Structure 1
């Protein structure tokens, strides 16, 4: 569809708690397609709607496309149902905070519930890199950045 301009650290939309999605019409479907286009164009593995200036509870990820086939997943109104009691720490980058990397602690797995862009409720457990990515993007929906709980490396 289209590559949208990214918003960067300091932009107020990145600090807002995003509003729930209530309408799944054409405009919303375009947003989801644009999130994927923008994420791939920027060489990212995830992108949340606030990062393109839309304060709504939606994000996309594809943690494997750089190593092989694309595996895109779109999340609408996501919520963590459960998470591992053990944390993993590792480096994270963010398209909205270019050229900086932070060590961040994340659960080794998360159980997530969400709605697909077509309105179907889903849930799954995500491990490793996918768990990190899901938590990172969910933080964006809550106005949280990696600068808030990570240590710059």
Structure 2
């Protein structure tokens, strides 16, 4: 297993829909193992294949509930169903998210409180995840990556302008930029 470089906002692979996985090969299994390693090293609660430069519809996730219960897995070729988000403005404390491809920043974003994701795992077995709260947020965030959407693409106009200023100041927004967890410090 290896820790892979994480692409930064502006890299073309992050802004285009990913391709479906046709067959689960040893290369796909290695990629998923490397994605877990990278996500854990970052640290993050989710990581999509495009974030490590691979345009495939795969993501991994790992989250520990308040009661210490672990929740970890991978989804290949996912489909997402969700309830509509509540109308209104997001709560800056309770609904802020970050992204390993826009590292060191958090912005409030309203998401659906419930999501259902279906797909397959590395064994080719069907997976169905029916979640709410933060788990639903994680599923929506990672699924967005597979459609070429980064969460800053969905934030309010004011936060979008702030994200643009941050990106410009840090020299982001160009192809080929990445950071390596455990080596680079991009916390701001």
Please indicate, yes or no, whether the TM-score normalized by the shorter chain is above 0.5: yes
Deviation, 1:122, is 1.8
The answer as to whether partners of 2:45 and 2:138 remain within 8 angstroms in 1 is: yes
Query: Structure 2 CA distance, aligned partners of 1:46 and 1:85?
Result: 22
Superposed counterparts of 1:9-88, under 5 Å: 9-64=9-64, 68=68, 70-80=70-80, 82-87=81-86
- Mean Cα deviation higher: 117-126 or 59-68: 59-68
Q: How do residues 113-124 of structure 1 correspond to structure 2 at under 5 angstroms?
A: 113-124=118-129
RMSD: 1.9
What is the aligned partner in structure 2 of residue 126 from structure 1? Answer: 131
Unaligned runs of 5+ in 1: none
Instruction: Tell whether 2:142 aligns with 1:137.
Output: yes
- SS of residue paired to 2:110: strand
Runs (5+) with no aligned partner, structure 2: 163-188
TM-score when scaled to structure 1?
0.92
**Could you say which residue in structure 1 is the equivalent of 2:172?**
none
Deviations 1:79-103 (A, max 9, x none): 11x3223439410100010122111
Higher relative contact order (CA 8 A, sep 6+): 2
Q: Deviations over 1:43-99 (max 9, x none)?
A: 10000000000000000011218984643210100011x322343941010001012
SS of structure 2 residue aligned to 1:101:
strand
Q: 1:137 to 1:129 in 2, by over 3 A?
A: same
Cα distance, 1:16 vs structure 2: 1.2
For residues 20-60 of structure 1, what are the alpha-carbon distances to aligned partners after superposition, in whole Å with 9 as ceiling and x for unaligned? 00121111000111110000000100000000000000000
The SS at the match of 1:23 is: coil
TM-score normalized with structure 2 length? 0.75
Larger Rg: 2
**How many residue pairs get matched?**
152
Where 1:31 maps in the other structure, the secondary structure is helix
Which stretch has the larger CA shift, 61-70 or 26-35? 61-70
